[in-house]
Amino acid sequence: MKYKNRFLLSLVCMVFYAVLSAQPAFQVVPLGVKGGMAENNLSAYMLAPAGDNRFICLDAGTVHAGLEKAVAKKTFRQPVSVVLKTYLKAYFISHGHLDHLAGMVINSPEDSVKNIYAMPYVLKVLRDKYFSWQSWANFADSGEAPLLKKYHYKTLDTIAEVPVENTDLFVKTFILSHGTGYNSTAFLVRHQEAFALYLGDTGADTIEHSSRLLQLWQAIAPLVKAKQLKGIFIETSFPNQQPDNQLFGHLTPKLLMHEMGVLHQLCGGGNILQDLPLIVTHIKPAGNNEADIKKQLKQNNPFKMKLVFPKQGKRILL
């Protein structure tokens, strides 16, 4: 009888766990998805735990136009200004390029008090180049005086996971190589036991002569194996026909899948990556690039990952 009870209890636990793990852990609202040209649709991803309206914004190339789209699509049932001022709690900026931060700078007069989390090499660009009185107004809390102190710079490092103020999220940071001598950042976001990985612009280790991605894959492999990683946001800027010497620190479908091969091996191979959402960001929309990149990824997806092509303003559940 005792054994039977114990058996029943473990069965109930297993069912409970299965139901729990089938529930989405995160909601993502892309405010911008492209890697160039379309200044109203550049890299910016709002992310929160599912069912929680306290978001962080991973990069902020486009903000207002993305929020307008999200409100028009009824992704948010509040006006743009309310979402911007009350739902959005903090920015995480991956690197200093305009297509990852212009929306934040332009919208700063209408924004509420927030933290900007970034590595020192990104905060330096914000402080010296954008929130300076020659290019804009200094809405931040350091740099050229006078300081308007709406935004608080929060310096990240790669040592420890940090709690994100005013949210239930935690973030661990990794350095990426984005062209010779230029760094970008990846953010590993955690809510309870679930993780989502967002990469800013990055080149492939083979092209960059770097081991930044290898180190990142080593760090997340245990999370993939434990099914705790709910998705990877990663760029594919150019199609395969882009020559290696004109990648400018970016990925192609072939290079992306090569990197996924490294991750696959570190996770022990087999079907470990099958159905893991791979959210393809930062497509540069010149010429036929968009169609080519999608086709090339679909034709070469050896680990059967779930390819997701995000749309501005449309919620993604992970």
Give the number of residues in contact with Zn ion, rule: CB under 5 A.
3
Residue 118 CB coordination number (10 Å): 25
Q: Minimal CA–CA distance to 217: which of 204, 208, 207?
A: 204
34, 69, 89, 97: which one binds Zn ion (CB under 5 A):
97
59, 201, 208, 292: which one binds Zn ion (CB under 5 A):
201
Q: How far is the CB of 173 from Zn ion (least distance, A)?
A: 17
By CB under 5 A, tell whether 99 contacts Zn ion.
Answer: yes
| In the chain, beta strands by DSSP E | 26-32, 44-49, 55-58, 88-92, 114-118, 151-155, 162-163, 170-177, 183-191, 194-199, 229-235, 277-281, 306-308, 316-317
Q: How far is the CB of 286 from Zn ion (least distance, A)?
A: 14
Residue closer to Zn ion by CB (options 128, 161) is: 128
Residue closer to Zn ion by CB (options 235, 292) is: 235
Stretch touching Zn ion by CB under 5 A, among 76-84, 117-125, 194-202, 261-269 = 194-202
Q: How far is the CB of 313 from Zn ion (least distance, A)?
A: 20
Q: Residue 307: CB partners within 8 Å, gap ≥ 6?
A: 278, 280, 297, 298, 301
Q: How far is the CB of 130 from Zn ion (least distance, A)?
A: 15
Stretch touching Zn ion by CB under 5 A, among 2-10, 72-80, 92-100, 210-218 = 92-100
Sign of CA dihedral 156, 151, 318, 9: positive
Alpha helices per DSSP H over 61-119: 64-72, 80-82, 102-107
Stretch touching Zn ion by CB under 5 A, among 9-17, 97-105, 211-219, 295-303 = 97-105
Give the residues lining the site for Zn ion (CB under 5 A).
97, 99, 201
